[in-house]
Amino acid sequence: MILDKIFTGKIRVQLLTKLLINPASTVYLRGLERDLDVSSNTVRLELNKLYDMQLIQEHNETIKTKTKYYKVNTKHPMFKSLRGVILQHVGLDQIIENVLKKLGNVDEVYLTGDLVLGKNNPFVDLVIVGNIDKTYLYNLIEKVEILIDKKIRVGLYQSEEFTEKKLKDVGIFMKLM
């Protein structure tokens, strides 16, 4: 994989994917150790390298805890470029360009599932709100699935029937559009 060569390691790519797909997310050492299935020392080394490059920021949730939390530095000059590379890596850029922008009557789009957590997955789960031509949508999805080598699963809602409460039942989500 080309990103592995650019970023010199699978763990760093996984870490950047986790942080850049959903810039609002925060992570911590033990959670990353579990999610990435590697030792805490390996994770700590990668976090330190990203911190030294100022790609991530660290903070404590409260003064009483020693747990350090990490978040992507959205003000870093390379943030948008790196995020674009990661979105291309997981195929979200193709979904946005070749499906969502061509549909027309889309009010909102939410990403759900593992990708919101920054975990690369063979499935992309979307919730689309609007008055959509389903036949046209599924034709576009078929074409994009070939490009990104992932299956796209879609939940469709009419504007009048959708509430964000429905998303809360799904679990974690992120607004794409």
**Taking the domains of the chain in order of start, what are their residue ranges?**
2-84, 91-175
DSSP letters spanning 8-47? TSHHHHHHHHHHHHSTT--EEHHHHHHHHTS-HHHHHHHH
- Confidence label for 47 from pLDDT (cuts 50, 70 and 90): confident
**Contact between residue 17 and residue 86 where contact means Cβ atoms under 8 Å apart:** yes
> Which pLDDT belongs to residue 86?
81
Mean pLDDT computed over every residue of the chain: 81
Closest Cα to residue 106, out of 135, 84, 127? 127
How far apart (Å, rounded) are the C-alpha atoms in residues 154 and 149? 16
How many residues make up the chain in this entry? 177
Q: For the domain 91-175, what is the CATH code?
A: 3.30.460.10
Pick the CATH number of 2-84 from 1.10.1040.10, 2.70.50.60, 1.10.10.10, 1.20.1370.20: 1.10.10.10
> Which pLDDT belongs to residue 114?
82
Which strand (E) or helix (H) includes residue 72?
Answer: strand 68-72
> Which pLDDT belongs to residue 3?
54
Mean of the pLDDT values across residues 139-148? 84
46 three-class SS: helix
Residue that wins the pLDDT comparison between 61 and 102 = 102
At 90, give phi and psi (nearest 5°).
-95, -5
